[in-house]
């Protein structure tokens, strides 16, 4: 099997040119790629138009991700993880692709056969295949936020022909975030990396979101931008911008660009992970925030961002907010506050995915998650989403309350009286659907406060905890214990903490929760 580019020897798929616009001085950012000046970022050479996608390209290629249309009908894109899928008959396939910065994996019949490294203009060939029908998949591995990539379609080898594109998948998943979501340096075998090594070892197709999507047989978007935060970028870089500056774009290097969302993109779930870059470095004296005002701005911006997603995608889409202690202890309680506000306002399809306790090695470039870490995260995210996305899946409704209670209120399951020196716990079922439910555990400290808490309760037969957040959940038969995290263990007199979980099986009713302070 030969893999080559027009006019090049096999394997010579890199485009010639000047030095890469990267620097080795990176940590959470993609260095110059992540925090270019606004002027440099605006220098994208290609602009989109309102013209429709070329009919032959639209017929023969299934595209996933934010794709814009060039003036002549070609496909333009910027975000990592974009993938292009086709079918053909014959012994070879050409990929008409131009990207001076990013790398692309090419798979034939589900097996990766080559990687195109910063492919220059031209048709990049894979031939020497056995005669017959084949599938081809091309995926953008790395980030190139300062350029615009171009794809003009697949080309069948002489004697072959392109077939109609494979159909779109029924499920859809959208991943929003920073370098963790992008898969930054996840294929690296060492933590210290140059900018070029980051490029070569970043693989969005093996990020936790992409793996989860394949586990769920879903199409997906990886809308991730390394170094960006909800309100503040890593180290306070490029002041006045944030992830939200680019959140609506298809082409990141084109100021003012707005993605023309197709009617058929309606994700079942959007997983959002923003905040590591906001809080992983201390606020410097030249920045417009204090530590406290940054927290306030973060909560306000995140709340507004979730409101925007809800307005865009409607009431059926789950909004999953991830939480990690990687950036320090500040982030988890702020994420909890954001989600609590949304749920208090009546949005029961907003929930937390807390992976602070995940056993991660952070062996990727600059202490980012490794391939093994992404598999761990994908396993947990798949477990969380599977019961939610199982059809049929009506909007969760409040569990019926006893006669005389207001209609639609969630059922608060009472806990017994506890000693004044300890704490009190209540378990509330906040929504249910066929085969599953979501519940919260609320802990209130007594007049002496607590330095830690442990809430216990028993679930009905056949009911189990699938995924929990803001506490460590352990089970022994029907008995479940929720133990405080380090960041929410200490409660002053009358203060509260809330944890939650997704359960499968019968919905709990008339369950007493107990609380102790270790």
Which pLDDT score is estimated for 165? 97
Q: What is the pLDDT of residue 169?
A: 97
Question: Which one from 78, 142, 149, 179 is the annotated catalytic residue?
Answer: 179
Calpha distance 409→19 (Å, rounded)? 62
Provide the Cα torsion 358, 217, 185, 276; round to 10°.
-50
Would you say 15 and 120 are in contact if contact means Cβ atoms under 8 Å apart? yes
Burial class (CB in 10 A: 0-12, 13-18, 19+), 192: exposed
- State both tokens at 24: 């080795």
Q: How far apart are CA 106 and CA 126, in angstroms?
A: 9
Looking at residue 497, its pLDDT comes to 85
pLDDT at 387: 86
CA 42 to chain centre: 25
Low-confidence ranges of the chain (pLDDT < 70): 1-51, 391-421
Q: What is the pTM of this model?
A: 0.76
CA distance 51 to 71: 6
179 among known catalytic residues = yes
Q: Which pLDDT score is estimated for 202?
A: 97
pLDDT the model gives residue 161: 97
Beta strands in 118-217 (DSSP E): 123-127, 133-140, 149-156, 161-163, 171-177
What tokens were used for 133? 């029908």
CB-based burial label for 140 (10 Å; 0-12, 13-18, 19+) = buried
> Rg (Cα) of the chain, in Å, rounded?
25
Burial class (CB in 10 A: 0-12, 13-18, 19+), 266: middle
pLDDT of residue 67: 95
Q: How far is CA 113 from the centre of its chain?
A: 27
Which residues, including other chains, have CB under 8 Å from residue 317's CB and lie 6 or more apart?
266, 267, 268, 269, 270, 309, 310, 349
Strands 423-433 and 411-413, sheet pairing: antiparallel
pLDDT of residue 35: 33
Q: What pLDDT score was predicted for residue 164?
A: 97
């Amino acid at each position: 099997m030969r893999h080559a580019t027009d006019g090049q020897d096999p394997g010579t798929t890199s485009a010639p040119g000047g030095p890469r616009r990267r620097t080795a001085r990176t940590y959470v950012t993609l260095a110059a790629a992540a925090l270019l000046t606004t002027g440099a970022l605006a220098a994208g050479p290609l602009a989109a138009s309102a013209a429709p996608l070329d009919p032959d390209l639209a017929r023969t290629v299934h595209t996933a991700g934010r794709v814009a249309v060039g003036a002549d009908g070609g496909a333009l894109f910027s975000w990592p993880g974009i993938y292009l899928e086709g079918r053909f008959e014959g012994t070879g396939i050409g990929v008409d692709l131009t990207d001076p910065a990013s790398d692309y994996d090419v798979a034939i019949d589900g097996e990766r056969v080559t990687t195109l490294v910063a492919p220059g203009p031209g048709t990049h060939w894979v031939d020497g295949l056995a005669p017959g029908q084949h599938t081809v998949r091309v995926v953008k591995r790395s980030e190139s936020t300062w350029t615009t990539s171009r794809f003009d379609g697949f080309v069948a080898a002489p004697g072959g022909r392109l077939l109609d594109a494979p159909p779109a998948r029924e499920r859809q998943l959208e991943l929003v975030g920073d370098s963790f979501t992008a898969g930054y340096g996840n294929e690296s075998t060492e933590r210290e990396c140059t900018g070029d090594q980051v490029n070569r070892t970043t693989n969005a197709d093996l990020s936790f979101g992409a793996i989860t999507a394949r586990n769920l047989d879903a199409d997906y978007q990886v809308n991730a931008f390394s170094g960006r935060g909800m309100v503040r970028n890593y180290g306070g870089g490029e002041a006045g911008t944030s992830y939200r500056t680019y959140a609506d774009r298809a082409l990141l290097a084109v100021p003012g660009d707005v993605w023309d969302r197709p009617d058929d993109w309606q994700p079942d779930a959007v997983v959002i992970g923003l905040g590591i870059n906001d809080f992983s470095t201390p606020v410097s004296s030249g920045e417009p925030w204090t530590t406290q005002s940054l927290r306030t701005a973060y909560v306000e911006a995140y709340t507004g961002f979730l409101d925007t997603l809800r307005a865009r995608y409607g009431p059926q889409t789950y909004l999953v907010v991830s939480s990690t202690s990687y950036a320090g202890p500040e982030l988890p309680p702020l994420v909890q506050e954001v989600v609590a506000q949304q749920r208090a306002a009546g949005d029961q399809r907003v929930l937390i995915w807390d992976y602070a306790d995940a056993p991660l090695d952070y062996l990727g470039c600059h202490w980012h998650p490794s391939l093994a870490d992404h598999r761990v995260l994908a396993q947990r995210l798949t477990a969380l989403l599977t019961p939610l996305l199982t059809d049929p899946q009506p909007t969760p409704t409040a569990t019926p309350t006893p006669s005389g209670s207001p209609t639609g209120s969630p059922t608060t399951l009472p806990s017994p009286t506890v000693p004044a020196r300890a704490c009190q716990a209540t378990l509330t079922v906040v929504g249910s659907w066929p085969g599953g439910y979501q519940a919260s555990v609320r802990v209130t400290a007594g007049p002496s406060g607590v330095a830690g808490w442990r809430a216990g309760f028993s679930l009905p037969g056949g009911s189990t905890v699938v995924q929990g957040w803001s506490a460590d959940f352990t089970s022994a038969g029907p008995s479940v214990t929720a133990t405080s995290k380090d960041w929410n263990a200490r409660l002053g007199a009358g203060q509260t903490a809330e944890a939650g979980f997704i359960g499968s099986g019968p919905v709990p009713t008339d369950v007493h929760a107990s609380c102790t302070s270790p």
